[in-house]
Chains A and B, each alone.
Chain A
């Protein structure tokens, strides 16, 4: 079956760095997405990885290892506004997104 696993909740301190891990199993693979979702709002796109390695985009970076079925989202210089849920989603061979349950990130001053 298809499955996305990520931690339910994480806590970090303002100004610090946090890494949110995601493991995936999909029928075929067309990439791994990370979305940010604030409470009561729709998800917004953060990153897309289809090749192994690290993609850096400002304070956010995303890593993919296809052989391990593993990805992480790295957030640097955390700000209070980064408090949100972070959704990992794998795209299968039919270009359908398989969603994880999301990781709620709590930022403390």
Chain B
């Protein structure tokens, strides 16, 4: 089956620093990648949709200058949380889609900002 990896799985950073999270589709080329955020006991919240070679489409309320998304190839998308603050602490999950339907999720990245 399709495998999506995320790196790192956990990261702790100091307030004001930036953190980059990588999302890779390992055995397929993803036409679209999605970035989600999930707070404890809450559902997934779509942050942005990313297509290879074009600018990401951000959901309403998500700051594009704070959450930088780069989709450099059909197998790699990165999310950079710039000038992180404690309220950015969350579980970030990426997914990759082939065609129109099923999304394959990465294992998630737990970000803690101190």
Binding site for B on A (CB under 8 A): 30-31, 40-45, 48, 87, 91, 95-97, 99-102, 104
Contact = CB atoms under 8 A, between A and B. Distances in A.
A43 B101 contact: no
A87 B102 contact: no
A87 B41 CA distance: 12
Contacts of B100: 30, 95
Contacts, number: 40
B111 interface: no
A48 B44 contact: no
Interface string B18-30: 0000000000000
B44 A43 contact: yes
30 contacts: A30-B101, A31-B101, A40-B91, A40-B108, A40-B110, A41-B108, A42-B93, A42-B105, A42-B106, A42-B108, A43-B93, A43-B105, A44-B105, A45-B102, A48-B101, A48-B102, A87-B43, A91-B101, A95-B100, A95-B101, A96-B49, A97-B46, A97-B103, A99-B43, A99-B44, A99-B45, A99-B46, A100-B43, A101-B42, A101-B43
Chain A: interface secondary structure?
loop
Which 8 A-B pairs rank lowest in CB-CB distance, beginning with the nearest? Answer: A42-B105, A101-B43, A42-B108, A99-B43, A95-B100, A99-B44, A42-B93, A42-B107
A44 to B, nearest CB: 7
A87 B49 CA distance: 20
A41 B105 CA distance: 10
A94 B45 CA distance: 17
Contacts of A96: 46, 49
B23 to A, nearest CB: 11
Contacts of A95: 100-101
A104 B17 CA distance: 35
B107 A41 contact: yes
A40 B71 CA distance: 26
Interface in B90-105: 91, 93, 100-105
